Amino acid sequence: MKHIITCIFLLVGSHMAFSQEYKVAVQNSRDEKVVLNDFPSEILVEGYSGKEIILTSMDNRSGETPDRAKGLKPIYAGGVDNTGIGLSVEKKGNVVTVQCLLPITRSAEYKIKVPDNIALRIKKGCERGGKVTVQNMKNEVEINVCHSIVLNNVSGPLVLSTISGDIDIAFTEVSKDKPISIATVSGRIDVTLPAKTPMDLDMGTVSGNIYSDFDFEAGDKQMRRIGGSTINTQLNGGGVDIKLTTVSGNIYLRKGKVS
């Protein structure tokens, strides 16, 4: 029994050792923005009602120091690690920029909590793999990557682009402040919008099909193929500009559940 208890403590201690946080104070204002650059592998960004950007490394090997480097500090091509978790954080006015410094040969898992009213921008090159997941954000989200994108419980505006990945989005409401642009080269686009969203809709796919259960012209109320490679129309009287484009993939436009 003592041996089992000791093992449990060792496992718990090991888990705690491999999780480190760095926090940045903000105001949770719509005038603020956080920019996340070059994160490796998958990244999860979650909005919440607080006033801190919380950066969590789930594996502290990103800041691990070999015995021979005791008393020295790691040097990265992209900047100086001022967080202890392989990140460089710079705050200028209302913009916080977080640069991941790890080389492409080093994998790491980060989870990020962001005040939900600030704007968010995520960018990483094609050499940086992994899906980007964002949830519970109330302001503008801009993402430019090469792999899949998943957004849940967002209101936009949105500017999303990827090269080789699917894009899945579930809106809770739709901001009318700016147009929404969603594009992928090789992948599907699957968007769920509130049923009564007024929109000017532009959808296009080169080699895929377009399906929707919104009330376009003739047809039943089931999810159906609309046909043709380009659709330009107004729904619910017209409103926010929404553009969905993919070269090689289908487009799915869905009505959200009525609460």
Q: Look at residue 14 and tell me if it is in a domain.
A: no
Is 93 in the same domain as 120?
yes
Domain total in the chain: 2
Residue 9 belongs to a domain: no
- Both 126 and 35 in a single domain? yes
Query: What is the domain range of residue 168?
Result: 148-259
- Overall average pLDDT of the 7-21 stretch: 53
Based on the fold, state whether residues 70 and 32 are members of the same structural domain: yes
What is the per-residue pLDDT for 17?
43
Q: Are residues 107 and 181 in the same domain?
A: no
Model pLDDT for residues 50-71, shown as the tens digit of each residue: 999 999 997 645 445 678 878 8
Q: In this model, does residue 16 exceed pLDDT 60? A: no
Domain finish residue from 109, 136, 163 = 136
Q: What angle do CA 215, 219, 224 make, to 5 degrees?
A: 80
Quick one: 166 and 232 in the same domain?
yes
Assess if residue 142 is contained within a domain: no
Indicate if the pLDDT at residue 133 is higher than 70.
Answer: yes
User: In degrees, to the nearest 5, what angle opens at C-alpha 150 toward C-alphas 53 and 42?
Assistant: 65
Residue-averaged pLDDT of the chain: 87
pLDDT at 14: 42
Cis upstream peptide for 157 (omega within 30°): yes
- pTM of the predicted model as reported, rounded to 2 decimal places: 0.86
Looking at the domain assignment, is residue 218 inside a domain?
Answer: yes
- The pLDDT score that the predictor gives to residue 10 is 43
| Whether residue 158 sits in one domain with residue 123 | no
25 and 119 co-located in one domain: yes
One domain, residues 154 and 129:
no
Residue 221 has a pLDDT of: 52
Q: Are residues 132 and 190 both part of a single domain?
A: no
pLDDT for residue 11: 46
- Mark whether 124 and 172 lie in a shared domain: no
Least confident stretch, 6-15, 84-93, 147-156, 183-192: 6-15
Give a yes or no: residue 222 inside a domain.
yes
CA angle in degrees (0–180, nearest 5) for 42-121-137: 85
pLDDT for position 84: 87
| 185 within a domain of the structure (yes/no) | yes
Q: Is 11 domain-assigned?
A: no
**Alpha carbon 179 to its chain's center:** 18
Asked if pLDDT for residue 20 goes beyond 80, the answer is yes
Give the residue, 172 or 11, on which the prediction is more confident: 172
pLDDT of 76 reads 84
Q: What tens digit of pLDDT does each residue of 205-243 get?
A: 999 999 999 988 654 455 555 655 888 889 999 999 999
Where is pLDDT greater, at 16 or 174?
A: 174
Does residue 3 lie in a domain region?
no
